[in-house]
Every structure is written in C-alpha cells, then in structure tokens.
Amino acid sequence: MASFRFKAVNAEGARLDGEIAADGEREAARLLERRGLSVLSLEVASGAATPSRLARGRRLQDRDIVLALHELATLLASGVALAEAVAAQSRSAHHPRLLAAFEAVSTALRQGQPFSQALLDTGLPLPAYVGTLVRSGEKAGQLGKALQDAVSQMEYDLQVRSEIRQALTYPAVLVCAGLGAVVMMFTFVVPKFAALLDRAETLPWLGWAVLSTGMFARQYWWLVLVALAGLAAVAYRLLRNPAARARGFERLERLPVIGAWRVESETASWARILATLLGNRVPLLDALSLAQAGVRAPGRRARLEEVSRNVRAGATLADSLEEQATLTATGYNLVRVGERSGELPAMLRSLAKLCEESGRTRMKQFLALLEPVAILLIGSVIGVIMIGIILAITSANDIVM
C-alpha cells in the first residue's frame, strides 16, 4: 500500500490538500471520489513522515496515546474507513512506539483480526476500559463513537492526575527542603556536640537520643542509604503488583476525606463506562460485567458482581445497587428514574458528572489539608532535634556550674 498526495475540491468548492493510502493511483482516486471530492492532482508521496529525534529519545507518555487515539477517532467519525485511518496513523509524526503499534494493527486488520484485539495485542499501556469500550463499539457498529468515549475518559483521568501533581508540588518541595535541613543538622550540627555523649548518664533522654541518632547516621551513613534503598525497592514492587495495588485502593477507601474521594472517583468511572456501553446497545448484564472489570478495589468489585447476579435473577438495577450499598441516595434515585423512563444511559452520565464534581471538591479539600500537615510534620521533626540539642547543652552547663 502506497501513500499519495492529493489536491481536490469538495462539494462546496473548498480546496483541500492531504494524503491518502491506497494500493494504486486509480484506487486512491476512487476513494477520494467516494468522499465526494473532485480530484485536481494526485501524486506519489515522497516519503512517510518520520518522528523527530526528540520523539525517538523520550519515553512514551499517556498524552501521546490520547492524542493518537483522538486523531483516529476523528478520522473514523469523518467517514474514513478503519483500515485507511489506521494506515494514515502509522505514517504520522507520532512517537516511534505508536507508529510500530499502528503498523501492527494495520497488519492484523489485513489478516482479518478485529480492531479491538489488534489494539490490545500491541502492548500499549491502555486502561482496561479502552478495550471494553472499543469491543462494544465494534459489536454495535459505532466504533468511532466508542473510541471517542474512551478518549474522553482517558482525558479526564489525565486531567485529574495533572491537578493532583500540581497541587502536590508545593508540599513535596516542603518535605524535600525539610529532609534536607534534617540531614544538614545531623551531618554538621549534631557532631559538634558529640563530646556530650561522654556524660550520657546525666543527659536528658531526648538529648541523648538526638545526639546518638546523629552520630549513628554520620558513622553508618552507608547502612542508612542501604535501608532507604531497600524500602524504595519494596515500595516499587508493591506498586507494580496488581494485587497489592488493589489492597491499597481498598485501604484508601477507609480513610477520611481521601476515602470518599476514591469512592466517588470509582463510581464516576463505573457509571460513565456503563452509560457508554448501554448507549452502544450492549445488553445490561454484559454491560454490568464489563463495567465492573474496571473497578480497582476488590470489595467494591465483589459488591458489583453481586449486583449483576441480582439483576440476572430479576431484580431491578436500582434496588440491587441499594441492597449492596454501592451508591448514594441521589445515585439510587437517578438509576431508578432512568430505568422507569428508559433513559438509563443519560441518568448514568448525570451520575458520573455529579460524582466527578464532588470528587474534585474532596480532592481539593484533601490537598488543602496536606500542605499544613507537611509544614507541621517537618517543623516538628526539626523542633525535636533542636530541643534535644538545647537540652544536652543546658544539662552540660548545669554540671559545670
């Protein structure tokens, strides 16, 4: 399949320039005429677009994936055939890993594989709901809309993460500055008073503890570094372990402020995905099973599985959700109204929007509390060190007098 540059005029007389992939010049002209364009010129493209040197060197980011999928969804919504749209993306100026992924998808499509399976086989770091939504769009014949819904959800996730990073910047700077101050005190200040440890039996316990800790850290600094590296390695392994992450999400839901935020964030994601699946004419039981797969907390996922069993047994969705205590009173009312009126997808989207707004408010409350807590924590540590040193000095002076 070759690439051709074209100049054409649409039905309104507007002149268009672009590039199209086809097996030959005649096939390219036929595809353009099928779009309602009058071809003015058609020539073989000089070469495919190549990623820049900067793109080759940097790591693939979630925003790169969102941009590529958004462009693909736009092409599909404009009436471009799936194979042609994927082929066009494989020649774009995206990240090299994305180009390789789209080339693999294009090859899989020519071999007869479904797009959803080909996309998942690329190994791109996609959220679980992307495959679910794309698969539902294929079944309903609305792949472009389903892909755009997946992109919208990914953009929302990126926005939330960006807001969290921005809000955590100042507390992180405070913590790093405080840790630096503690290290400097243990390295340069505390050793100046090491001689006071010779009178350990007469020192206050706080002064002795501060001086002993400082001298230990100065003498066995390599052991402290090894311990910190070990803790970092354990934390990294836990974060990479899906089961450990799931247990972490479960514990987060029990905390004040942040727990309610996590619950509302999960509820918003579940409601949005379920609304999209139902809007794409996926049966309710299948939609419930697919939507609950994206829930991270094991306990909440188990309750949603029980909801699916109750609905399969003949209960209404609203009553099943209320029996398992999965939503708020407002959520039950919205789902119940949606079931009675036949507008369940619209009511679920309203529920998702309410939960997103409420979750964003709770997130801001949590982050507003985090800053003074960080200041108090660092101030307390430095204060304890200073009090310990002062107590040791005054105790030595009392002995001399």
Same domain, 129 and 181: no
- As a whole number of angstroms, the distance between CA 40 and CA 6 comes to 7
The verdict on residue 347 lying in a domain is yes
In three-state form (DSSP H/G/I as H, E/B as E, the rest C), the secondary structure along 142-175 is CHHHHHHHHHHHHHHHHHHHHHHHHHHHHHHHHH
With a cut of 60, say whether residue 316 has pLDDT above it.
yes
The verdict on residue 164 lying in a domain is no
Q: Which residues contact 60 (CB under 8 A, 6 or more apart)?
A: 95, 97, 98, 125
Pairing of β 15-22 and β 2-9: antiparallel
> Structurally, how many domains does the chain consist of?
3
pTM given for the model: 0.66
Q: What is the dihedral of CA 204, 207, 210, 213, to 10 degrees?
A: -60
What is the mean predicted confidence (pLDDT) over 256-271? 81
- As a whole number of angstroms, the distance between CA 247 and CA 151 comes to 28
With a cut of 80, say whether residue 174 has pLDDT above it.
yes
Q: What tens digit of pLDDT does each residue of 94-153 get?
A: 678 888 888 888 888 888 888 888 888 888 888 877 887 788 788 777 888 888 888 887
Q: What tens digit of pLDDT does each residue of 175-220 get?
A: 888 888 888 887 777 777 777 666 656 678 887 888 888 888 878 8
Residue at token pair 């471009």: 80
Same domain, 345 and 235: yes
Same domain, 232 and 321: yes
Same domain, 110 and 34: no
CATH classification at residue 178: 1.20.81.30
Length in residues, the chain:
401
Same domain, 189 and 287: yes
Domain span holding position 10: 2-44
Same domain, 395 and 320: yes
With a cut of 50, say whether residue 387 has pLDDT above it.
yes
